[in-house]
Amino acid sequence: MDVAEETLLEQNLFHEIIESMVQHRPYVCHQQGNLPMLLALHQEVTAQHQGGHLRRAGVGRADGHHINDALRTDLILWLDGTTAAQLAYMAWLERLRLTLNAALQLGLFYVESQFSCYQPGGYYRRHKDAFVGEENRIVTVVTYLNPQWQAHHGGALLIHPSGHGLTLTVQPKLGTMVCFLSEAWPHEVSPTQCDRYAIASWFRRNPGPLL
């Protein structure tokens, strides 16, 4: 695949994400063009996990941050742009941020991303990434890094409708990407039977100066 084909695939992907947001639904796709980069990220996160560099994720921020096993049991490591694969993925997110701002005027100011690992038995109970009226996380993007994943491994992402409707089930296979408005969609990670890897990213607005 040459550069022109990759650019066209990316433009089409971004257009589909925009259309899904306009229609108030989560977007799910499989990124064929980015698989070499995602395989490199898979190798990176598994090495970091095996090296003991991932840490327990908590809930809450600042002084309210704490570990809550009843809600979530995942391990995380923030991306810092120190590898070629991370830089490539962060550049892709930046192009998406600029496209969303141009099309939807969302005012997205920056993005934060973390590797996540759910070990066997791991889960994340139903939650939202943001709450109505809070100027924090606006758009959620999750990209999965699990080659040869099968449904019987568990670990599916369940996206629940805000009202009536069917729950959307997403298998965390390598290259599958999910994008949705952070405050609109309750979701959860069902218990996994195998190590389950992903990158979770959140586009945020500038909180502005304190008054």
Domain contains 41: yes
pLDDT at 5: 85
The domain total for the chain is 1
- How many whole angstroms separate alpha carbon 174 and alpha carbon 140? 18
Q: Provide the strand spans (E) within the chain.
A: 27-30, 55-56, 75-78, 110-118, 124-127, 137-144, 157-159, 168-170, 176-181, 187-189, 196-204
Tokens matching residue 178: 């999910």
Residue 63 lies in a domain: no
Domain range enclosing 141:
3-57+70-204
Q: Is residue 15 part of a domain?
A: yes
- Flag whether 179 is in a domain: yes
pLDDT in tens, the chain (211 residues): 678 888 899 999 999 999 999 999 999 999 877 899 999 999 999 999 999 999 999 776 656 667 888 889 999 999 999 999 999 999 999 999 999 999 999 999 999 999 999 999 999 999 999 866 666 899 999 999 999 999 999 999 999 987 777 899 999 999 999 999 999 999 999 999 999 999 999 999 986 544 4
Does 13 fall in a domain? yes
Per residue in 73-115, pLDDT tens?
Answer: 999 999 999 999 999 999 999 999 999 999 999 999 999 999 9
pLDDT at 210: 45
Q: Which residue, chain included where needed, has tokens 């962060």?
A: 90
What CATH number corresponds to the domain at position 166?
A: 2.60.120.620
Residue 131, pLDDT score: 67
148 is a domain residue: yes
Q: What pLDDT does residue 148 have?
A: 93
8 A C-beta contact, residue 124 and residue 139: no
The pLDDT value given to residue 137: 93
Q: Is residue 146 part of a domain?
A: yes
The whole-number pLDDT of residue 63 equals 60
61 three-state secondary structure: coil
Q: At what angle do helices 84-104 and 3-22 cross, to 10 degrees?
A: 50
Q: Is there a domain that residue 171 lies in?
A: yes
